[in-house]
């Protein structure tokens, strides 16, 4: 019997062993948890002491404000209630904000994306050029915001020597700026212009989108301009190398362009088509040669006051709009000379001369074949001013931008 009882006892001990182990583990875990809670309480106590110290500082600041405005227990009480509401709402908003930021981050951005991007050197170079050309070749675009012309000076001062003029809505590269004067470059002109009359940044790009024109630049010595898009069509005139014509549309092998107020055609292989903005005019284009009479200088200077003003077919207004002969008529009327309102009739006035003999104030005529249909005022230096087209308005061009048919002298020194 004793042997049987011993066996039962040993069996009982073996069965209880796992329970003892579990109990021991539980005891260890409990001790660990207790220790953790103690440490947490200590840490919390430390953090709380810091927060309490901060609260004391804030309370002191609030107290100072209270002293400044006069102590009012009712006011303070309401403030406390409001603070409690703010704390509650802030805790909710903080939670939402953290979640929102995490959601907003999403995929990697910035440098991470660039590192992960798989682009060749050539692709990066193309991307750079595309970014540069997004502003029509300008990296820091400026647009002249004037009624007439913006003066460009050699130095950043109102009495600085004039080096050129930036016509209304013309573009420039802003090299540098001090907020009063901008160092700019436009076309062949570099100098300083007043920041007060320049549109910059995003506004300049939006304005440029309204102003940009598609231009065909002649790339051959002499380009034939035809009435229709075929080689059997009549040759209207010849245009020299480097001359620029405004594009109406491209039609396969031919490009339809404006020749003043006419729509004509040039062969696509002999022009380079690109989007461009108007640029500055150099002083060379604005000045005159020696021995020119005062009346000729005054007439040309007067004509230039209306650069950029609109072209209106049949119009004679220098401000609201004129066509080519209406512009000439109105300019000469200012100086006591009466002319008819038709270029063909104006060509029969005065004395015929050669282009090489032309002085500022003489008239240069152009046409469709031999029929005269356009007139401009010669301003010296191989330049003319004329009311060109509805798109460009009154502008300065090379005297040979198309083949002159006739040159006439109206003014006699």
pLDDT digits (tens, 9 = 90+) for 214-228: 999 999 999 999 999
Threshold 0.75, pTM exceeds: no
Residues of the chain by 3-state class (helix, strand, coil), percent to 5: 40, 30, 30
Residues above pLDDT 90, as percent of the chain: 51
Q: For residue 261, what pLDDT band results from cuts at 50, 70 and 90?
A: confident
Measured distance between the N- and C-terminal CA atoms of the chain, rounded to whole angstroms: 156
Residues above pLDDT 70, as percent of the chain: 66
Specify whether the CB–CB gap between 329 and 369 falls below 8 A: no
User: What span, in angstroms and rounded, lies between the C-alpha atoms of 60 and 151?
Assistant: 61
Instruction: Give the model's pLDDT for residue 348.
Output: 95
Per-residue pLDDT tens digits for 167-206:
889 999 999 999 999 999 999 899 999 999 999 999 999 9
Give the burial string for 293-319 (b: 16+ CB within 10 Å, else e): eebbbebbeebbebbbbbbbeebbebe
Q: For residue 93, what pLDDT band results from cuts at 50, 70 and 90?
A: very low
Instruction: Give the model's pLDDT for residue 135.
Output: 76
Does the pLDDT at position 346 exceed 50? yes
Token representation of residue 10: 């040993």
Specify whether the CB–CB gap between 283 and 143 falls below 8 A: no
Q: For residue 137, what pLDDT band results from cuts at 50, 70 and 90?
A: confident
Instruction: Give the model's pLDDT for residue 6.
Output: 55
Give the residue carrying structure tokens 């703010």: 86
């Amino acid at each position: 019997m004793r042997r049987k009882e011993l066996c039962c006892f040993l069996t009982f001990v073996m069965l209880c062993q796992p329970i003892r182990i579990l109990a021991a583990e539980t005891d260890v875990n409990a001790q660990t948890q207790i220790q953790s809670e103690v440490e947490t309480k200590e840490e919390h106590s430390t953090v709380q002491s810091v927060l309490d110290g901060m609260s004391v500082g804030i309370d002191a600041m609030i107290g100072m404000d209270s002293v400044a405005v006069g102590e009012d227990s009712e006011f303070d009480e309401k403030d406390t209630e409001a603070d409690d509401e703010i704390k509650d709402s802030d805790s909710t908003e903080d939670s939402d904000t953290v979640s929102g930021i995490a959601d907003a981050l999403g995929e990697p951005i910035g440098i991470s994306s660039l590192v992960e991007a798989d682009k060749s050197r050539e692709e990066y170079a193309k991307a750079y050029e595309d970014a540069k050309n997004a502003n029509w070749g300008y990296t820091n675009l400026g647009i002249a915001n004037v009624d007439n012309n913006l003066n460009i000076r050699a130095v950043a001062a109102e009495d600085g020597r004039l080096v050129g003029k930036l016509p209304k809505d013309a573009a420039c590269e802003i090299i540098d700026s001090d907020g009063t004067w901008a160092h700019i470059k436009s076309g062949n002109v570099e100098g300083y212009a007043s920041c007060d009359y320049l549109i910059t940044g995003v506004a300049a790009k939006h304005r440029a989108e309204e102003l940009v024109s598609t231009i065909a630049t002649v790339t051959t010595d002499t380009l034939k301009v035809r009435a229709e898009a075929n080689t059997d069509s009549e040759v209207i005139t010849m245009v020299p190398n480097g001359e620029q014509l405004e594009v109406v549309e491209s039609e396969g092998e031919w490009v339809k362009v404006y020749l003043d107020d006419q729509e004509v055609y040039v062969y696509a292989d002999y022009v380079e088509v690109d989007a461009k903005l108007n640029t500055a005019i150099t002083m060379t284009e604005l000045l005159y040669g020696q021995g020119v009479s005062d009346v000729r200088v005054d007439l040309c200077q007067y004509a230039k006051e209306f650069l950029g003003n609109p072209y209106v077919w049949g119009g004679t207004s220098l401000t609201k709009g004129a066509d080519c002969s209406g512009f000439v008529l109105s300019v000469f009327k200012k100086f006591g000379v009466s002319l008819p309102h038709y270029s063909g009739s104006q060509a029969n006035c005065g004395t015929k001369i050669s282009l090489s003999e032309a002085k500022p104030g003489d008239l240069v005529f152009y046409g469709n074949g031999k029929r005269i249909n356009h007139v401009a005022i010669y301003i010296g230096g191989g330049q003319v001013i004329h009311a060109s087209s509805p798109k460009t308005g009154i502008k300065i061009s090379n005297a040979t931008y198309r083949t002159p048919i006739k040159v006439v002298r109206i003014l006699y020194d």
